[in-house]
Amino acid sequence: MTATTALYKRRRLANSVSLVLSFSCMAIGVSALLWILYTLAYNGLSAFGSDFFLNSTPAPGSPGGGVANAIVGSLLMVAVATLVSTPIGILAGIYLAEFGDKSKFAAVTRFVVDIMLSAPSIVIGLFVFAIAVATTGTFSGWAGSLSLGLIAVPVVMRTTENMLRLVPGSLREAAFALGAPRWRVSLLVTLRAVKGGVITGVLLALARISGETAPLLFSALNNQFFSTDMSKPMANLPVMIFNFAMSPYEDWQRLAWGGAALIALLVLAINIIARVAFRDAKQA
């Protein structure tokens, strides 16, 4: 009885220590996150206003100005990258989960996707610079969209594949028993069953590419003026923040804080939407 009591006390002590350590680590992480959000809100929200959203970036040393050109440029490039990467990633994920589950080509594809997911974004930027910028002789919004799309495709692909693998085999067998071909089962049965998770993957990919800076430095570069011409260098929020944050001008630094707060709020909103959508999908 004594040995059992001593063992029970040791286990209770180990459990208490583990709980304290886990709670402490969680508190440190949450505190750092709240500190970052508070700093962005304190320094960035004060820059919000009509001029911030309606005017273009000012010349060096000029007061006032805004980031309208950077906002429009980022929206255009992110929209194009999302529209291109979403169908490619979803269809590739369907192939990996439904058709090429045990093929060598699928295994190689998964290996390449894992590399792309872990590769630094600057490597993708250099790759796009070599194939799209150096060959054409100019930076462009199309090159920026290409670099962002290459980052988004593996995220959507892997999310789609993982979600499809959660679909029970009995659902596929029931569809096959009704005489449905394999492609129809994949698109109208299994994909529809996990549409909430797939949408979540698309939103998470969108949140990731919204703040990427390194790929755009080597592809879209920047533009001080308002432009919607995707064939020329295009302004964007990440590069604008990078340039303005290191400038000696207080007005530029204020705009950089505002741009950082805007991206943070956008990414936070996208993640909240993704969490809500995924929760509803699981409840359904």
pLDDT digits (tens, 9 = 90+) for 38-55: 999 999 999 999 999 999
Q: How confident is the model at residue 219 (pLDDT cuts 50, 70, 90)?
A: very high
Percent of the chain surpassing pLDDT 90:
60
pLDDT on residue 1 = 52
Residue 281 has pLDDT above 60, yes or no: no
Q: What is the DSSP letter of 45?
A: G
CB 259 within 8 A of CB 72: no
Higher pLDDT, 48 or 278: 48
> Which among 58, 9, 45, 25 is positioned nearest to 249, based on CA atoms?
58
pLDDT digits (tens, 9 = 90+) for 149-171: 999 999 999 999 999 999 998 88
- Cβ pair 74, 236 in contact under 8 A: yes
Asked if 113 contacts 46 with a C-beta cutoff of 8 angstroms, the reply is: no
Instruction: Band the pLDDT of 136: cuts 50, 70, 90.
Output: very high
Residue 148 predicted with pLDDT over 90: yes
Structure tokens at 59: 């010349």
Average pLDDT for 114-118: 89
204 versus 143: which is more confidently predicted?
143
Q: Helices in 137-249 by DSSP H: which ranges?
A: 141-164, 169-177, 182-185, 191-193, 195-210, 214-217, 237-245
- Please give the pLDDT value at position 106: 87
pLDDT at 97 exceeding the cut of 70 = yes
Domains and their CATH numbers in the chain: 68-283 (1.10.3720.10)
pLDDT of 2 reads: 65
pLDDT for 278: 64
Mean pLDDT: which of 81-95, 186-200, 262-276 is highest?
81-95
49-77 mean pLDDT:
90
pTM of the entire predicted model: 0.87
**Residue of 227 and 1 predicted with greater confidence:** 227
- 53 vs 93: CA distance, rounded Å: 38
Mean pLDDT over each residue of the chain, to the nearest integer = 89
| pLDDT at residue number 280 | 55
